[in-house]
A and B are shown apart, each in its own frame.
Chain A
């Protein structure tokens, strides 16, 4: 899932200082699961904003809505009848959701309430770890299911650097060396040959905005956009 962190309160407060009526829009998918931008986080943030603005003698009227997914037109539609009543929208969705919302209401100032952080896994309640950089050319088949692009601090493709340190990365003893883990796992699977071969330079595909049209879903409209 996409993992996000709530933005510092002062930054959010500063975004909204000139607005009297703001709609806080949560997203019920990734950011809700990672406890950053779901219904509950919307309520907490609104309570904070309400109190802070009262203390400033600059009260704010806050609306709250959490939709299933802000990255999906089908759900965004629920906001159409509400947005007009507000001066601005504060979105707690990931960066994609925020942009899709802002694109739908181009006249309306839209602000981010979270910092979108990574694609990751749920280690425990409230504890997430990055696992994927969406590079568009997955090498997990070669590397025993451990991503060197994400898990190696230098994103190396051909084994560890000289800083690999008793199984840890040079940046921190708490950060495992991805290539150490890859070696150990491949070794157990008798697949070390995989990493003795030289992996050629990567054709980076994440250097410009990407579009995916799944096979069988091509239309005159989406192929024209390409």
Chain B
């Protein structure tokens, strides 16, 4: 299956989105990424029971932290899909890229 997704996305693999920490997401933005998103299993289908639910909570937390600072929270998102859904993965990647394009570059770059 050859699927197109935006080439400017860098994938970091983790065993479970439950492993994704607030600091990972925050650091990505701090270091200049325009956006960062976590892609986890469908809710209710986590192999570790609730890793993806915890990830969503953390993503929401980081979105609030960024808003506090004055950076758009929507630069950080969470998506869910099942492992067989390659096309959905690509669709979400395009959606995120569109979202970031609309928001423009990370405001920290201008400072």
Q: Which residues of A contact B (CB under 8 A)?
A: 9-10, 40, 43-44, 47-48, 50-52, 54-55, 57
Contacts and interface: CB of A to CB of B under 8 A. Distances in A.
A44 B65 contact: yes
A40 B61 CA distance: 14
Interface string B9-30: 0000000000001110011011
A47 B26 contact: yes
A74 to B, nearest CB: 29
B108 interface: yes
Q: Is the interface of B mostly helix, strand, loop or mixed?
A: helix
A51 B29 contact: yes
B69 A52 contact: yes
B107 interface: yes
B68 A10 contact: yes
Given A10-B68, A52-B70, A47 B107 contact: no
Looking at A9, A40, A43, A44, the one whose CB has the most chain B CB atoms below 10 A away is A44
Given A51-B29, A51-B30, A40 B69 contact: no
Contacts of B108: 51, 54-55
Contact of A44 (B22, B29, B70, B107): B22
Nearest 7 interchain pairs by C-beta? A9-B68, A52-B69, A54-B111, A47-B26, A47-B30, A51-B69, A55-B70
Interface of B: 21-23, 26-27, 29-30, 65, 68-71, 107-108, 111
Contact of A48 (B21, B69, B107): B69
A44 B69 contact: no
A66 B65 CA distance: 22
Contact of B27 (A9, A10, A47, A57): A47
A63 B88 CA distance: 43
B76 to A, nearest CB: 13
A50 B66 CA distance: 12
16 contacts: A10-B68, A40-B21, A40-B22, A40-B23, A43-B23, A44-B65, A48-B65, A48-B68, A51-B30, A51-B69, A54-B108, A54-B111, A55-B69, A55-B71, A55-B108, A55-B111
Contacts of B26: 44, 47-48
Contacts of B29: 51
B71 A51 contact: yes
B67 to A, nearest CB: 10
B15 to A, nearest CB: 19
Given A40-B22, A44-B22, 18 more contacts: A10-B68, A47-B23, A47-B26, A47-B27, A47-B30, A48-B68, A50-B30, A51-B30, A51-B69, A51-B71, A51-B108, A52-B68, A52-B69, A55-B70, A55-B71, A55-B107, A55-B108, A57-B111
A51 B65 CA distance: 11
Nearest to B57: A126
Nearest to B110: A55
Contacts of B65: 9, 44, 48
